[in-house]
Amino acid sequence: MDISYQEYNKKSDIHGTVLYPATMIAPAQKDILLQYVDTQMGTKIIDPFYGSGTSLYEVANISRKVQIYGCDINPFAKLITQTKLDGTSKNINNSINQLIKRLNSDMNFEIHHFENIEKWYRQDVIKTLSKIRAAINLEKDNLDRKFFWVIFSNLVRKFSNTRSSTYKLHMKPSDKIDNINSEKIEEHYIKSLQEGKKFYCNNYNYKELAKNDSIQYLDVFNDDFFDILITSPPYGDNHTTVPYGQFSSLVLFWINADDLDLEGWELENYSIIDSKSLGGHLRNKALTEEEYKIVEPYISNINEDKVKKVKSFMRDYFDFLYQAIRITSGHLILTLGNRTVDKILIDLTRITKDVFNIKGLEFINEYSREIQRKRTPRVIKVDNTEISSMNNEYVIVYKKTKDRLKVY
Ligand SMILES: C[S@@+](CC[C@H](N)C(=O)[O-])C[C@H]1O[C@@H](n2cnc3c(N)ncnc32)[C@H](O)[C@@H]1O
């Protein structure tokens, strides 16, 4: 099956209405899911790293009988996924008209503030975003207000002083900052709401979307609870791969905290979500001998400091894999990328397959596609040597077949 989807244009569906890093290709996930989801039975499915909810939204559109569970540590991911699955109210047109009226009026509003806001936004941009924020806050319908926030998140990024070429917070050069046209913000926002609303009509009755650390979250489920696990886990610690938390931080500072699922620590600083994510902090628990053997070929030639980080990520990743195997009774479908550290490819796909094979899972299928890169160059320079960055993505499908299983 060809899953390259070279022609896929995100703008043609719900996934193109909001920017989130390293998302899955929706039609590829749908094609794969169609092969494994039982549309007649109430399949229980989980995505433990749902991000912007690509796989969960796609499965919801395959069958209304699917029971959906998911988890992500990032509150912005939860807001997006929940809104995609919930959709808007039936009165969304009226809600948008009311919002436009408020924006066209001389409404009183507070100028929003958070630490360092002046670094990331020009004063006139802060004023306009504050007005839109206040207008959104006045929307009484919870579904419509959340839809307004999701679309607002694009403005928070587009009109900020941070570059669009990277997911990290990185100041634009001053001439680019001077060129930001704040007069266009409201117009841009209203247009995006009008264009985006048609996609948010799902109203899906899912089971549970958690905002939590997956390793903790998965622990509570009984063995074999889920029929299918589908996910794309991070492929390295967020700090040195994709900083989902840093990317989301400005958005999280702008959105009313009452509309976010927060544990309390998420707004402490710009990168705290990345530090709490998979491999983000060093753990006391070491790799076992068996685990070490699996990763040794990749870490034996990299710098000592970086080895610590890779091992720390692998510690979390192995724990995730064991939980994934334990709680799933049927198919495990993982979309994986392989990163490079010190010019050495860390073959996460091979590592994952090794674990699945050791644990006795049955190999069902493998697909690969080239990643169309926009924010990371295909070739990056390390110590003045050009090496290829992560350019391929793999989807592996394994099955837990009771008689083959070793103790997990
Ligand atoms: C590759 S992205 C998933 C993207 C998603 N498939 C999509 O299409 O949008 C990986 C996700 O894992 C989340 N994550 C990282 N560490 C986590 C952890 N310990 N617990 C839960 N989620 C975590 C990140 O916040 C990020 O959203």
For residue 247 and ligand 1, the question of a CB distance below 6 A is answered with no
CA 155 to chain CA centroid, nearest Å = 18
For residue 241 and ligand 1, the question of a CB distance below 6 A is answered with no
123 occurs within a structural domain: yes
Give the residue numbers spanning the domain of 108.
92-199
Q: Which atom of ligand 1 is nearest to the CA of 238?
A: 15
Domain end (from 145, 180, 199)? 199
Whether residue 217 sits in one domain with residue 148: no
Residue nearest to atom 8 of ligand 1 (CA): 23
Measured in Å, residue 51 CA sits from the centre of ligand 1 at 5
For residue 213 and ligand 1, the question of a CB distance below 6 A is answered with yes
245 occurs within a structural domain: no
Which pLDDT does position 407 carry in this prediction?
Answer: 52
Whether residue 233 sits in one domain with residue 166: no
Mutate to test the pocket of ligand 1, among 277, 371, 376, 395 (most ligand atoms within 8 A of CB): 277
Mutate to test the pocket of ligand 1, among 24, 72, 394 (most ligand atoms within 8 A of CB): 72
244 occurs within a structural domain: no
Whether residue 184 sits in one domain with residue 117: yes
Whether residue 336 sits in one domain with residue 229: yes
Secondary structure element (H or E) that encloses residue 333, with its range: strand 328-337
Count the neighbouring beta carbons within 10 Å of the beta carbon of residue 250: 23
Whether residue 285 sits in one domain with residue 138: no
Amino acid letter at 350? Answer: R
Which pLDDT does position 406 carry in this prediction?
Answer: 57
Whether residue 399 sits in one domain with residue 289: yes
Q: Compute, in degrees rounded to 10, the torsion defined by CA atoms 386, 391, 392, 393.
A: 130
Measured in Å, residue 77 CA sits from the centre of ligand 1 at 8
Domain end (from 199, 223, 251)? 199
For residue 79 and ligand 1, the question of a CB distance below 6 A is answered with no
Which pLDDT does position 382 carry in this prediction?
Answer: 44
262 occurs within a structural domain: no
CA dist., res. 267 & res. 389, Å (int):
31
Tokens for 107, please give them: 């409404």
Whether residue 192 sits in one domain with residue 135: yes
For residue 230 and ligand 1, the question of a CB distance below 6 A is answered with no
253 occurs within a structural domain: no
Whether residue 328 sits in one domain with residue 220: yes
Whether residue 330 sits in one domain with residue 185: no
Q: Which atom of ligand 1 is nearest to the CA of 23?
A: 8
Q: Which atom of ligand 1 is nearest to the CA of 71?
A: 21
Whether residue 285 sits in one domain with residue 391: yes
Name the DSSP class of 13.
S
Whether residue 215 sits in one domain with residue 142: no
For residue 248 and ligand 1, the question of a CB distance below 6 A is answered with no
For residue 355 and ligand 1, the question of a CB distance below 6 A is answered with no
Length reported for the chain: 408
Query: Which CATH number goes with the domain that contains 366?
Result: 3.40.50.150
211 occurs within a structural domain: yes
For residue 236 and ligand 1, the question of a CB distance below 6 A is answered with no
Q: Which atom of ligand 1 is nearest to the CA of 320?
A: 19
CA 135 to chain CA centroid, nearest Å = 27
Given the DSSP bridges, would you call strands 328-337 and 392-399 parallel, antiparallel or unpaired? antiparallel
Domain end (from 199, 223, 250)? 199
Q: Is the Cβ–Cβ distance between 18 and 52 less than 8 Å?
A: yes
Bridge partners, 346 (sequence order) = 339
For residue 271 and ligand 1, the question of a CB distance below 6 A is answered with no
DSSP line for 339-392: EEETTEEE-HHHHHHHHHHHTTPEEEEEEEEE---SSS-SEEEETTEEEE---E
Report angle CA 405, 369, 380 to the nearest 5 degrees.
110
Q: Which atom of ligand 1 is nearest to the CA of 52?
A: 9
Which pLDDT does position 383 carry in this prediction?
Answer: 47
Q: What is the pLDDT along the chain (408 residues), one digit of tens a residue?
A: 778 888 888 789 999 999 999 999 999 999 999 999 988 888 999 999 999 999 999 999 999 889 999 999 999 999 999 999 999 999 999 999 999 999 999 999 999 999 999 999 999 999 999 999 999 999 999 999 999 999 999 999 999 999 999 999 999 999 999 999 999 999 999 999 999 999 999 788 788 999 999 999 999 999 999 999 999 999 988 888 899 999 999 999 999 999 999 999 999 999 999 999 998 987 778 999 999 999 999 998 898 888 988 999 999 999 999 999 999 999 999 999 988 888 889 999 999 999 999 999 999 999 998 876 555 555 544 445 554 555 789 999 999 987 665 555
Whether residue 231 sits in one domain with residue 360: yes
Q: Which atom of ligand 1 is nearest to the CA of 316?
A: 19
191 occurs within a structural domain: yes
Bin 391: left if φ > 0, else alpha if -120 < ψ < 50, else beta.
alpha
For residue 244 and ligand 1, the question of a CB distance below 6 A is answered with yes
Number of domains, the chain: 2
271 occurs within a structural domain: no
